[in-house]
Chain A
Amino acid sequence: MNSSLLFITLLCLTFFSYWFGVKRSLKIAGGAEHKKDLICLPEQFGLLTAMVCGLPALITLLIFNSVENTIIEQILATKLPANIQALSTIDLGLYLNNIHSIAASETIPNLIKSIENHSLNNTNLAEFEQLKAALTLKELYQQITWLKTSLVLVVATTSVIVLVRKFSITYKARQKSEAIIRTLLVASSGVAILTTLGIVISVLFESIQFFRSVPPAEFMFGTQWSPQTAMRVDQVGGSGSFGAVPLFAGTMLITFIAMLLAVPVGLMIAIYLSQYANTTLRRVAKPMLEVLAGIPTVVYGFFAALTVAPIIRSLGESFGLSVASESALAAGLVMGTMIIPFVSSLSEDAISAVPNSLKEASLGMGATKSETVIKVLLPAALPGIVGAILLAISRAIGETMIVVMAAGMAANLTANPLDSVTTVTVQIVTLLTGDQEFDSPKTLAAFALGLMLFVTTLGLNILALKVVRKYREQYD
């Protein structure tokens, strides 16, 4: 039985256990009419039985699935002929891949048949060995699947039997099931912590490895970025240099352009919608902003690369300027568009959090609405707006698809928005897509960039939350 079938069986078994637990508890009580004698409801007995059936078996299944491949490889390796076992890790890996693909394409009877053919003709020894190994692999898989199936089913049934034997009229089924549920709830809330830990550890670990081959100072302050490492020792221009300053500069340039568009427009939208607009306009404008916020970034990327960039280019050329086909301006403007709803909704929150008394006092003194907004509301809401802008910057820095599609690959160190620049996220994607070995500085560099990205966005976020919180305290 394969894993998914086993999983479904387990699910059925769990449902059955529920029913079994209910029946069993009623029997102990002496029939449905004596159900009140039980200290807990029969359904609670059922729930406990179902959880005791499903959870340990599910954990067994998961553990088994995660280790079975390693075990099979280990056993297979010991059964290979000596000359194969002596191969280097890479060659052995290739050999094993080969065997896996043979095993995947053939059935066991077919393999046996071709092995028999071979032993009769005795033609190609290497192929014969491979077929034999594939057969062993297939058989191993079969055995291990049987082992897994029986183990999981045995765990499920024995735990139910052990539990059910303990059932009595005074058995505290509810308390026990609630304790299990509570553990599950705690574990679920811990997933977020585990995720953060996973991010920090994995990114940090790979970065430390990277910084072993490239000094951190060179990475942080170097101005040359060409991560192509040499395939051969004597290759020209393949030494690879990892100075990330052009990437940081490019990221900042595009973020700056984006903010130049998003902050004024987003802020004005927030002010207009909260202070001036009637309900009809607000009812239409809110979904418009939601649409703008809900469009996937890959769509923005497409729009930037195929619509905005050509327009900017032809516009620039009509003024006699030379514009790169992947200009920072195009990527920045589209990114700004993406961020407008973000800025406007956060600023609107900040503005509406300003106590009404301030606004009314200003209006009562004879100030116009715009004077009230500029001289009273905005200064009062400033910390909230600053927080919003910080969050927007963090978003822009981490944005990937727009820049991957619309900004360039070349690491130019320039402040000209019509030039092509590259960003941290673009380089992470370029370094990590496609096949390459995991330990080269080229792939590790992506993790170092990831670390920078993580630290920066986290810092901005914490700062923003702090600013917003401080300001809230002021008015609460």
Chain B
Amino acid sequence: MTNLTNSSMDNKKMNDSTQLTITDKVALSLNKRHKKEKRFKVAGLIAVFFGFMLVLTLITDITVKALPAFHQHWVKIDIDYKSNWLNIDTNTTPELLAKQMQTANYRKVLRDSIYQMFSTESVKKLTRQEKRQLAKLFSTNAEFTVKDKLIAEPEQINKKVNVWVKLDDDVDSYLKEGFPLGEAGLRITQQQAKWIAKLNAEQRIVSRFNVSFFTASDSREPELAGIRGALTGTLLTMLVTIILSFPLGVAGAIYLEEFAPKNRWTDIIEININNLAAVPSIVFGLLGLAVIINIFELPRSAPLVGGIVLTLMTLPTIIIASRAAIKAVPPSLREAALGLGASKMQVTFSHVLPQAMPGIITGGIIGIAQALGETAPLLMIGMVAFIVDVPTSIVDSATVLPVQIFLWADSPERAFLAKTSAAILVLLTLLLVINITATILRSKFEKK
């Protein structure tokens, strides 16, 4: 470019008299044109950085929102295992005692122990409203923690024991975010805040790593909800998808690329596959609902059905990628093998396929990653139900991680916001791991 402008300047000097007007025009407009060029370049740069900013904003926003979900507040309370509160008769055989412990009134023990803790010198008796507010400070799960503690250590009966229980999600959010009281969506009263401050002053509240987020399944209570069920569901669904889509896709690609005669039928299949790749995913959900569930009567909400639907959805991606990989194998390789007397099938499976493997695997993994993040078709086939149990087989009712994210994002409780973001982080990490695996596998194959 610089050479060009220089030479035009030289021209101007040399042919001053003859071409003055045109070169002058060019020279005069150069400045403007260069400015335009600069503006255009800056616009492009801005677009690229806009893209970077979007990625950065998205990831930062979700990470910041997710962080609170990874820890959780616990409180140490003094539980008084009074036998008359528990409604247990201690003067019996150990066997009967153990049996009674299973059915004892732990709610009363928990509540009365809490009331005892908070009835100070000045306030001997709590009002009914205060009692209700007090009980709301603790997770609904606290009762079972109290029960488990006694069953594990039966000798504690009629003794005062320190028990760690989870705080309610509203209290947890209040402690994490320090919101002003009365904020919409946070239901902490002035009185409750005082109690929390008191517990804090007595150093009874600690924050621990939220283990149950990874070990528990879905729950209506944010402090108890975890992603284990959804993660297991995802795993089962992906298993079905991989087992079905990979062989089917590769086999289809091999046929189309190596064996199919060039005729109308092959053309139809080709056009069909290309178009199928652009069909919205939700339409595959409609197919799953109308055909797989209503005609073949496979169970609703099951990873089996989810896997089949996702297989049909990812099949075009895998076929297209595999075909490209097979096509890239040099024909000389095939001809050499054929010349040595190998059959077409042997050439394909022992020469072409191993050469095409890196491309096929990359394509397959891209397809699987796409299936892993897919939500819409799974909503159609009922994988959107509230499921507490961890699925154990591919015909159990289950949900998957993206659907869990969708469900939690819809929940009104404030604490679910962090849970949702944390689940998204887990999903993104999974995707990252899968993509890195693809890259590593590819380079390993290519080295061979």
Contact = CB atoms under 8 A, between A and B. Distances in A.
A422 interface: no
A429 B379 contact: yes
B315 A182 contact: no
B272 interface: yes
Contacts of A181: 345
Q: Which of A186, A192, A264, A289: most chain B CB closer than 10 A?
A: A192
Contacts of A4: 393
B260 A298 contact: no
A8 interface: no
Interface in A340-393: 340-341, 363, 366, 368-371, 373-374, 391
Contacts of B26: 366
A196 B272 contact: yes
B406 A298 contact: yes
A164 interface: no
A199 B283 contact: yes
Contacts, number: 258
A188 B344 CA distance: 18
A295 interface: yes
A296 B374 contact: yes
B61 A303 contact: yes
A174 B65 CA distance: 61
Interface string B223-249: 000000000000000000000000111
Nearest to A428: B282
Q: Most A CB atoms within 10 A — which of B48, B287, B296? A: B48
B405 A298 contact: yes
Given A202-B287, A446-B286, A294 B275 contact: no
A302 to B, nearest CB: 5
Interface stretch (B36-44, B103-111, B151-159): B36-44
A189 B45 CA distance: 44
B44 A450 contact: no
Interface stretch (A97-105, A143-151, A452-460): A452-460
Nearest to B424: A299
A54 interface: no
Contacts of B44: 268-269, 271-272, 275-276
A277 interface: yes
Contacts of A337: 54
A299 B427 contact: yes
B58 interface: yes
Interface stretch (A120-128, A223-231, A396-404): A396-404
Give the contact-size bracket for chain A: 35 or more
B352 interface: no
Contacts of A465: 274
Given A188-B255, A269-B44, A272-B45, A461 B51 contact: no
A400 B424 CA distance: 18
Contacts of A370: 36-37, 39-41
A368 B287 contact: no
A291 interface: yes
A36 to B, nearest CB: 15
B275 A196 contact: yes
B319 A400 contact: no
B43 A268 contact: yes
Interface in A251-306: 264-265, 268-269, 271-273, 275-277, 281, 285, 288-289, 291-292, 294-299, 301-303, 305-306
B282 A398 contact: yes
A450 B286 contact: yes
Interface in B361-381: 369, 372-376, 379-380
A317 interface: no
A162 interface: no
Interface string A68-91: 011000000000000000000000
Nearest to B33: A368
B397 interface: no
A368 B1 contact: yes
A447 B46 CA distance: 43
A397 to B, nearest CB: 7
B316 interface: yes
Contacts of B195: none
A288 B51 CA distance: 7
B25 to A, nearest CB: 12
Interface residues of B, number: 92
A124 B269 CA distance: 62
A285 B402 CA distance: 27
A457 B279 contact: yes
B413 to A, nearest CB: 13
B417 A306 contact: yes
A461 B278 contact: yes
Nearest to B59: A291
Contacts of B279: 199, 398, 454, 457-458
Contact of B315 (A178, A195, A429, A454): A195
A457 B327 CA distance: 28
Interface in A305-357: 305-307, 337, 340-341
A425 B427 contact: no
B417 A400 contact: no
B52 A288 contact: yes
Contacts of A198: 287, 291
Given A369-B37, A391-B278, A297 B375 contact: yes
A181 B373 CA distance: 33
Nearest to B381: A432
A178 B347 CA distance: 12
B276 A195 contact: yes
A374 B39 CA distance: 13
A191 interface: yes
Given A195-B312, A199-B286, A400-B281, A296 B48 contact: no
Given A188-B251, A340-B51, A458-B279, 17 more contacts: A66-B296, A185-B251, A191-B252, A192-B272, A193-B269, A196-B276, A199-B286, A265-B50, A271-B44, A292-B54, A301-B406, A302-B405, A397-B280, A401-B406, A405-B410, A433-B380, A457-B280
Interface of B: 1, 4, 8, 26, 33-34, 36-37, 39-41, 43-48, 50-52, 54-55, 58, 61-62, 65, 247-249, 251-256, 259-260, 268-269, 272-276, 278-287, 289-291, 294, 296-297, 312, 315-316, 319, 343-345, 369, 372-376, 379-380, 382, 384, 393, 402-403, 405-406, 409-410, 417, 420-421, 424, 427-428, 431, 435
5 contacts: A191-B248, A192-B319, A295-B373, A398-B281, A465-B274
Interface of A: 4, 66, 69-70, 174, 178, 181-182, 184-186, 188-193, 195-196, 198-199, 202-203, 205-206, 264-265, 268-269, 271-273, 275-277, 281, 285, 288-289, 291-292, 294-299, 301-303, 305-307, 337, 340-341, 363, 366, 368-371, 373-374, 391, 394-395, 397-401, 404-405, 425, 428-429, 432-433, 438, 446-447, 450, 453-454, 457-458, 460-462, 465
A-B complex: 9 closest residue pairs judged by Cβ atoms? A398-B280, A296-B373, A272-B44, A268-B47, A188-B251, A370-B40, A202-B290, A400-B376, A185-B255
